[in-house]
């Protein structure tokens, strides 16, 4: 199995529990926006503990970026990643993933499920392409929202927050059939979904109720 040791160049927290990692990019290492790799920490005892994480950097960047939700109290790999700092090393492997941009559509993200879409939106923006995409971004609270300013700058009025526990003055949207249908128009062809398994199942069910054929629904199988 292909593997590369990459040095961590920078880290920062984007929210209270979401951390950004910038690493070296191996020569000749290529991926499609929306794809991922298995990653481990290059520390004895952890180098074989692989977890999948999505690339969030544009494909032509000379670095790799990962935006990762840190789950503390689980004694898991993301909790170990909380302690990773510049100068530490990660191990990345082969590229995989079924989410890729096929054409204009509605992107439906649940929490950290936004990460493959970040790469897609950044790549489209970097190439000067402004297709008719919309993002419905579901989070528990407004403090959980990742990269809101950047995503709003790219998508403008087609960026829509869906907050489960909104504060007074925050959007009161509900991620249901009516909301999704309101962004369905003649320029929308595809529906992209990424989030927890139950979220993906629920959104797929809604799309089927809207008579969207499976060939136009893109998610990680």
Average pLDDT score, the chain: 93
The answer on pLDDT for 75 being more than 70 is no
Separation CA 30–CA 14 (nearest Å): 25
CATH no., domain 105-218: 3.40.50.80
Same CATH topology for 3-96 and 105-218: the answer is no
The whole-number pLDDT of residue 204 equals: 97
CATH fold of 3-96 reads: Elongation Factor Tu (Ef-tu); domain 3 (2.40.30)
- pTM higher than the cut 0.75: yes
Q: Spell out the residues 6+ positions from residue 55 whose beta carbon is closer than 8 angstroms to its own.
A: 31, 33, 35, 36, 37, 64, 65, 66, 119
At 116, the pLDDT band (50, 70, 90 cuts) reads very high
Q: What is the pLDDT of residues 6-45, one digit of tens each?
A: 999 999 999 999 999 999 999 999 999 999 999 999 999 9
Place of tokens 């062809």: 189
Residue spans of the domains in the chain: they are 3-96, 105-218
Rounded average pLDDT over 194-218 = 96
């Amino acid at each position: 199995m292909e593997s590369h040791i990459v040095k961590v160049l920078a880290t920062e927290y984007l929210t209270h529990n979401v951390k950004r990692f910038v690493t070296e990019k191996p020569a000749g290492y290529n991926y499609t926006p929306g794809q991922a790799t298995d990653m481990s920490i290059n520390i004895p005892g952890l180098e074989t503990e692989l977890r999948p994480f999505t690339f969030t950097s544009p494909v032509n960047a000379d670095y790799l970026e990962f935006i990762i939700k840190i789950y503390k109290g689980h004694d898991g790999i993301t909790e170990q990643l909380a302690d990773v700092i510049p100068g530490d090393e990660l191990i990345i492997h082969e590229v995989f993933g079924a989410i890729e941009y096929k054409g204009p559509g509605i992107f439906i993200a649940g929490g950290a499920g936004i990460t493959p879409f970040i790469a897609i939106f950044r790549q489209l923006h970097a190439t000067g392409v402004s297709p008719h995409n919309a993002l419905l971004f579901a989070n528990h609270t407004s403090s959980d929202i990742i990269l809101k300013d950047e995503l709003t700058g790219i998508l403008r009025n087609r960026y829509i927050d869906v907050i489960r526990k909104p504060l007074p003055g925050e959007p009161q949207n509900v991620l249901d059939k009516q909301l999704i249908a309101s962004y369905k128009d003649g320029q929308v062809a595809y529906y992209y979904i990424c989030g927890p398994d139950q979220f993906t199942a629920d959104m797929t069910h809604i799309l089927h109720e809207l008579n969207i054929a499976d060939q136009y629904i893109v998610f990680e199988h």
